Structure 1
């Protein structure tokens, strides 16, 4: 076991004794050029999102034109206790009514009919762009946007736990610290954030992207760990910028994907984000992607003036902790007991472990980083040394997963999902007829195709190879694969662990 104080721990130890009244915001050094240009054409959209984040209550929605969000055509107000289903019904009704009003306005404009006061007021919403074609296009390009002031206020409070660490991480990667404001729009600093498409954590990493920058397997999901995910986000954004050479494009790529941005530039012949917004007609480059940079600027502005927007909010304090690198596979419950008398704080400091680990079906992996409240560090170190041999294991536990049958499930489909054979599931569950499954039936899933619990524990996994990417460090690679830097250095006989070259192939020892 190795114990070390981290920057977050040292900073936390300093700040824990101080009541953080108001907001202390790190910004660019005086005189430094702002890497985030303020395109005049985006100013109305930035103002729209500033209003949504900083002023509009969650009990309000606006009806606006999607392509030009600053054209707000109606405001809706809801009772605080109104069920979400009724709210959505009212929003749909408002959209339908506005579409009909715009269609009538278009017809009146084409016919040269006299407009009543209500129609004139509606037309005035379009400003100098008002003409029949613009009104007709708007009628089929409407959406509603709910206010999120309360959510943003809560994010401001929670962010105090993490922003000092995030800023230090981005400074270490030589990146603008203002990029750490992206979680305000990605997740509202909700550690449990999980999107309908599978993005998770403060930085909302999708699984495929996450595997390039952090560990994601049955035992660990670093997307849910703010410390690990922040390091991954910094490297991800650095890669985006290295390819696109422009921060508005790189930030938009965080939402849309760097290859998608590159394809858009190639297709349109564009040079910057404004070119993409104006010229790129692709369903995948939709409302979220077109507005992502404007949302970032709005969140950045609001955070820098948080006392003005949220005078009632006080930033939470960073948590003081030490980091421990495990030399064994250890049951999660044992570590919780060693970590002190506050299981919730332990979970808050170590949120990246999977339900399988927290339930005891798997153990916390060797080489993993555990965070312990700093006031319990010495106690933890002494207690860890006295752990019985049964709690310090040289290999990961092999376990039987469970699958609850739902309507439409067939054995072959279930087997493909878990990467095992249908026959192995049939044998593990003593199924006389593999074609007869009942809804609600719980099946035991063996750990690997054709293996039993005993043979799986003895089998030798295939060696792993990691190809070094630009900017990767040995410690980052070790975290990605759940091993220690010393293990990788020894396995590959590295004379200098600080000198890696892009394209270098490293053998990864078994964790």
Structure 2
């Protein structure tokens, strides 16, 4: 692709995606080109040097930062965070996964002991090793707490302390707070090292970082933000937390539903490319609301509303104001340290040779993108691109087990990644599919819910992400509502992906229903609509699709979409009222 054509597409893509100014200044653009931005076979923008990436308009320069480089203006290193950044740098690059640091969670430069299980790890099975670590960490916390309490009692008579007590006493030589030992005793914590996991993350990140940088660049966001998965998931696509966060970017369900699809067909959190697009918009929105990247990054962990409340309560304007003065229980250790962890992890990544020597980074995954036009079995799509199961799942990891097992079909309008060079054969094979392999409607896959005491129709509908009308229509639910012990059939629905979507930057978001196709929409808008008198109304019933409705009324899909201002979308729900043009 010609450079001028690439630049033109990038500007269009950024405008469609972000609603933000997408044009970098001339200096940044030339620097980016000099850095050798490459394109993959899929057309996705690949690795640009973070140091020359275009960035959002930064916060107003403070006098003390006037001489700092651009990155330090966007991501300032507050003095209050220096010990935290140093601690997390050791966690990511120095402490082994078989080492545990016993430390003061409020003063991270206070590391009292580092337990080492390296020798035990050489012969113990993982389960036994884990139990040993847990037990030894608990014993070390108890031991250290007792030492701190003893030193607190004898703080005015240091000459009476034994060797271990004196060692603890001397660690606090720069701290004159009379309650320093007692406070530390109440704030003990253990932290296991992440060196091996970080090295593996750096190797794996090669599969995804170039495309991720392309997405963030299209939103005019700092490319350093693409290193956040080092903190969130260690670039483990399968990462799943105890609070239900999933994928590289560790989206929880409530946030995921704002920025991507999370339904019975797909969980876009598990798709590195799709979730990256959602994370970029999430961070962009956090920054737009809070005005500074330290706050926006902390909001990614703590919540935008929580950060805003903290600033309001403390009267503060910066992250250090929250760290010093915001005492909400919810603003705990993880939230207070999130920005410091990000700085440390991204520092380690930038200086990876210093910390790890030579490592072998994986190469970017290359692929072509095709689009489904019908409801099609997952296995059929895999067969058409002649990919083995492992490769196809790696390229399309968002699909639910029910889809992979054939209980549900892949819907129309889904962008599917296929191995590079396989698109043409796929297209030819798809055109030859018979009616037994492509369908006009989704398979029915009921979920069963047994009503418990306290359940209401509203709560159940909200839990499963369906409408109350859908539950009523598919069950015998009267005016009195549901009753305890009743078993309800819940019919899953597909939901459109919220937010802007573009296909200009390499079609790097498969699994998404494209909300707009600019050329076709422009043509559709140019055609005059029938008069109001030329419509009839149709209420969507269970099992119907836009295609089947168009067939029933003998109208074209284009006219049906146009009459309902749907662009190129085919998403409808039970209970929707559609305007159907009267066929002539």
Structure 1 length-normalised TM: 0.80
Please state if 1:485 is matched with 2:516: yes
Going from structure 1 to structure 2, the CA distance change for 1:99 and 1:267 (only over 3 Å counts) comes to same
Of 164-173 and 68-77, deviating more is 68-77
Q: 1:57 aligns with which of 96, 100, 111?
A: 96
In the alignment, which residue of structure 2 is the partner of 1:93? 139
**CA positional deviation for 1:488:** 12
Going from structure 1 to structure 2, the CA distance change for 1:381 and 1:423 (only over 3 Å counts) comes to closer
In the alignment, which residue of structure 2 is the partner of 1:109? 155
In the alignment, which residue of structure 2 is the partner of 1:121? 167
**d(CA) in 2 for partners of 1:265, 1:412:** 37
Going from structure 1 to structure 2, the CA distance change for 1:446 and 1:175 (only over 3 Å counts) comes to same
* Contact persistence 1:249–1:272 (CA under 8 A): yes
- CA deviations on 1:316-369 (whole Å, 9 max, x unpaired) are 011110111211111001111112242101100000111111111111111111
**CA positional deviation for 1:390:** 2.1
In the alignment, which residue of structure 2 is the partner of 1:27? 50
In the alignment, which residue of structure 2 is the partner of 1:21? none
Please state if 1:170 is matched with 2:216: yes
- CA deviations on 1:425-451 (whole Å, 9 max, x unpaired) are 899xxxxxx969xxxxxx9x6344xxx
**d(CA) in 1 for partners of 2:431, 2:324:** 63
Q: 1:303 aligns with which of 346, 349, 357?
A: 349
Q: Equivalent residues in 2 for 1:157-196 (5 A)?
A: 157-196=203-242
In the alignment, which residue of structure 2 is the partner of 1:510? 571
Going from structure 1 to structure 2, the CA distance change for 1:148 and 1:426 (only over 3 Å counts) comes to farther
In the alignment, which residue of structure 2 is the partner of 1:262? 308
* Contact persistence 2:415–2:512 (CA under 8 A): no
* Contact persistence 1:220–1:353 (CA under 8 A): yes
**d(CA) in 2 for partners of 1:488, 1:397:** 32
Q: Equivalent residues in 2 for 1:251-330 (5 A)?
A: 251-330=297-376
**d(CA) in 2 for partners of 1:465, 1:363:** 16
* Contact persistence 1:214–1:480 (CA under 8 A): no
Structure 2 length-normalised TM: 0.71
Going from structure 1 to structure 2, the CA distance change for 1:27 and 1:422 (only over 3 Å counts) comes to closer
Structure 1, unpaired ranges of 5+: 16-23, 428-433, 437-442, 449-455, 497-504
Going from structure 1 to structure 2, the CA distance change for 1:422 and 1:168 (only over 3 Å counts) comes to closer
In the alignment, which residue of structure 2 is the partner of 1:431? none
- CA deviations on 1:180-219 (whole Å, 9 max, x unpaired) are 0000000000111111111111000111111111111110
* Contact persistence 1:330–1:393 (CA under 8 A): yes
Q: 1:201 aligns with which of 231, 234, 247?
A: 247
Going from structure 1 to structure 2, the CA distance change for 1:270 and 1:379 (only over 3 Å counts) comes to same
**CA positional deviation for 1:386:** 1.1
Going from structure 1 to structure 2, the CA distance change for 1:73 and 1:312 (only over 3 Å counts) comes to same
**CA positional deviation for 1:169:** 0.6
Q: 2:112 aligns with which of 59, 70, 73?
A: 73
**d(CA) in 2 for partners of 1:322, 1:340:** 13
Of 388-397 and 171-180, deviating more is 388-397
- CA deviations on 1:374-393 (whole Å, 9 max, x unpaired) are 13222212111111122122
**d(CA) in 2 for partners of 1:154, 1:426:** 53
Number of corresponding residues: 458
* Contact persistence 2:247–2:269 (CA under 8 A): yes
**d(CA) in 2 for partners of 1:425, 1:310:** 60
- CA deviations on 1:11-34 (whole Å, 9 max, x unpaired) are 44599xxxxxxxx88221296453
**d(CA) in 2 for partners of 1:305, 1:495:** 54
**CA positional deviation for 1:474:** 6.7
* Contact persistence 1:123–1:130 (CA under 8 A): no
In the alignment, which residue of structure 1 is the partner of 2:411? 365
Q: 1:346 aligns with which of 369, 376, 392?
A: 392
In the alignment, which residue of structure 1 is the partner of 2:481? none
**d(CA) in 2 for partners of 1:250, 1:237:** 6
* Contact persistence 2:42–2:369 (CA under 8 A): no
**d(CA) in 1 for partners of 2:448, 2:129:** 35
**d(CA) in 2 for partners of 1:207, 1:256:** 15
**d(CA) in 2 for partners of 1:484, 1:250:** 27
In the alignment, which residue of structure 1 is the partner of 2:25? none
**d(CA) in 2 for partners of 1:49, 1:55:** 9
**CA positional deviation for 1:277:** 0.5
Going from structure 1 to structure 2, the CA distance change for 1:249 and 1:411 (only over 3 Å counts) comes to closer
* Contact persistence 2:48–2:213 (CA under 8 A): no
**d(CA) in 2 for partners of 1:85, 1:304:** 35
**CA positional deviation for 1:465:** 10
In the alignment, which residue of structure 1 is the partner of 2:200? 154
Structure 2, unpaired ranges of 5+: 1-5, 11-37, 54-68, 478-483, 528-563, 573-584
* Contact persistence 1:475–1:485 (CA under 8 A): no
